[in-house]
Amino acid sequence: MNLKEIFLDASKYAASDWTKFLFLGLLFIITDLIDRGTSDGLLEGFLSLEIILILLILWLILLLVVAGYIFRIIEDSIDGLDQLPSFKNIKQLFAHGLKESGVLAMYLAVPSILFYLFTGLDTDLLNPDFHVTMPILFRVVSLTLGATIFILLQGAILNMAHHHGRFISAFHFREIALRIKRVGISRFIVVCILTGIIIMILEPFVRDDLAHSLDYVGGTIIEFTLVPYLAILTSRFLGIMDR
């Protein structure tokens, strides 16, 4: 499959079952409402602390179930299935979401530590010229490291999907490298760049800027349709290119 075929396939796949698609959108709406209500303090005057705590636990559970469902899309795509997966076995979805979140946290730990090390440097003790070169150097290093980690993370998730969610398989680096090589390094990188643009730029814009700039009804429609579509699109990208 070339990139155009992958994109067209992913678009059709998202609309392969409207019931599952809309149910996923409903989960996004619920998590967003709980997140906004608790983070903005909107519920503090109406609900007790215990109820808010229960809502936060529910938010975390639903978030991990959604992550697990997205992971299942990658698994099914690898296996050659062209229909959105069901929401059966919620326990397994939760477990997959928990493991994927753990992998994400561990992969992001290294760049996060380096970020704090860089920003924590006392530049007053260094050469004055370093004040000028440091921001540029920091941006170049951060961008390069971030892009490399993101591409490696996609390979790790792909390898996990091949091993039915086995956590340790996300750290079999030689196997991950061979899998990326099998897909095609250039094609894999291009798909990762496209996925990164959607996840890091387009999706935050849709959820945080576009949806919140509209009225309640407009924002809900965006959260109900466009957000799950983008989530399905990116996960399908990853799975379909490794058939």
Q: What is the pLDDT of residues 13-53, one digit of tens each?
A: 988 899 999 999 999 989 888 877 776 665 666 667 788 78
Mean pLDDT per 10-residue section of the chain, whose length is 243 residues: 80 89 93 76 68 88 96 94 91 95 89 67 48 62 82 94 94 94 89 88 80 71 87 92 77
pLDDT of residue 43: 63
pTM for this entry: 0.85
User: What is the sign of the dihedral through the CA atoms of 70, 76, 80 and 84?
Assistant: negative
Which tens digit of pLDDT belongs to each residue from 161-186? 999 999 999 999 999 999 999 988 88
Indicate the helix (H) or strand (E) that contains 25.
Answer: helix 18-39
Mapping DSSP to helix (H, G, I), strand (E, B) and coil, where does residue 166 land? coil
How many residues does the structure list for the chain?
Answer: 243
Domain hosting 68: range is 3-240
How wide is the angle at C-alpha 177 spanned by C-alphas 174 and 183, nearest 5°? 145
For the chain, what is the mean pLDDT?
83
* Cβ neighbours around 220 below 10 Å, total: 16
The total of structural domains in the chain comes to 1
